[in-house]
Structure 1
């Protein structure tokens, strides 16, 4: 069984498209709504998703951040494989769920990342935090992961049993934290990339990217053992 978890906060313009893509190959599509102030929840429900407010999944009050929605989504999901998709996608391979889920036929695979091109509306290449923060730090501190093209991409899949054994950073460091933690626990060969074509999404303003870069850098440095750096995270669900 394949579950798709879509974290969403005020994404009424794009969430229906993402749900429709997810439903092509998923057995369960969950939209985890982080108290959206727009019609995200209704639009997602109309598109065929099961919409869960993040406060209703657990009695523990939510921490701010995308990773919190993913952590709660894993708790709610029923599938053996959990596929994460961002809710702000404007263009993505329509078979992304199948592409990400297929490699789990190999029992040695625990995490599958999507690799794709990220053109921006002005024709330049996207992924500024990826290229300027995440990949340089991974190359220096975790060279065994330096080949991963999109370490911060929100389109990836994980075994639910694996996701339950690792912590989830509450904020934007969640993707790179999972990448490092799964590689440490199961070895770099447990990670796989699949080609997924072209991906476009809502481009964030520079001030948002600055805080994202700080969270990503803090997560990598903390995982590398840098003293004095703390990141807010949830413990493993079944650690």
Structure 2
């Protein structure tokens, strides 16, 4: 088969040149000067991340709160951890809130997107930066890089990070769900988003009014849902991306990645119908059958495991009645 080179559309090429940057393009001092009264919250969703979350919080607090007055609030959303995540994060200087303590009148849902949605609701910053809690090589340039476009260009509404992602001892290979699932689907149905290097990156930032205006899929479909919704509602030029360098984090099993991929696909199919890009006569099934090593009742050395990938969504925060908004969610800590 003859190899061909990807030819991005002129619009994507223009966007890449205009809206791609590097974390080192801004110094912390420049960003502090650019704040001009703008407040910044950092939200860290964490589930069983006691080994890494403390160092992340401490670095942000020491460098970007105490040494430079760039970050005003650090919130760790404890997503049903069974280890000492909450205690480690609090000792490092973060505010900590249990995921289900935000909007206690609502039935709690499980998933990363739920933690992010609750994190936005429980913070007050004009700008909200999301950082995953499982990073092993975190530097504060992740935060400053994501804030750079937002603090220096009022036309930017949302910023995604991208980075080099090794896989174990391999120099490359991280981001398997991105390359095998998200990227092909985006190129097929939202080619204008083909310029994003890491469309599923867990490090990104946005203006509060923007984040509160869109729904949050409660599971791993949240990031692809954000990109599609914001492109449809605000246009591609409102989005930017920043090279954050290198990222090492805890890798998930192949079966866990399969469940993640299913959630992402269901989210994209939902957006296809929502935005009239593709209407299907039969909606996709949400039950995923996987096999794991084990002996079943009939002696077969594979055990069938079924997972419901249904992807519920939280509505835009700005659509909720004031009566159920968390007035002081941080009083109920994990």
| Bin of the TM-score, shorter chain as denominator length | over 0.9
- Paired position in structure 1 for 2:169: 122
- Paired position in structure 2 for 1:41: 86
Q: Note the C-alpha offset of 1:108.
A: 1.4
- Paired position in structure 1 for 2:191: 143
Any conservation in 2 of the 1:21–1:95 contact (CA below 8 Å)?
Answer: no
* Whole-angstrom distance in 1 between the partners of 2:167 and 2:137: 11
- Paired position in structure 1 for 2:298: none
Identify the match of residue 148 of structure 2 among 102, 119, 122.
Answer: 102
The TM-score normalised by the length of structure 2 is 0.69
Classify the secondary structure of the residue corresponding to 2:227: helix
Classify the secondary structure of the residue corresponding to 2:255: helix
The TM-score normalised by the length of structure 1 is 0.96
Measured on the aligned residues, the alpha-carbon RMSD in Å equals 1.2
* Whole-angstrom distance in 2 between the partners of 1:20 and 1:80: 22
- Paired position in structure 2 for 1:67: 113
Classify the secondary structure of the residue corresponding to 2:166: coil
* Whole-angstrom distance in 1 between the partners of 2:175 and 2:218: 21
1:212-239 per-position Cα deviation (integer Å, ceiling 9, x unaligned): 0000111112111144256311010113
Structure 1 segments of 4+ aligned residues over 3 angstroms from their partners: none
Q: Tell whether 2:217 aligns with 1:217.
A: no
Any conservation in 2 of the 1:66–1:172 contact (CA below 8 Å)?
Answer: yes
* Whole-angstrom distance in 1 between the partners of 2:51 and 2:167: 18
Classify the secondary structure of the residue corresponding to 2:50: coil
Q: Note the C-alpha offset of 1:94.
A: 2.8
Q: Note the C-alpha offset of 1:21.
A: 3.4
User: Where does structure 1 lack aligned partners over 5 or more consecutive residues?
Assistant: none
Classify the secondary structure of the residue corresponding to 2:167: coil
Q: Tell whether 2:318 aligns with 1:238.
A: yes
* Whole-angstrom distance in 2 between the partners of 1:94 and 1:159: 19
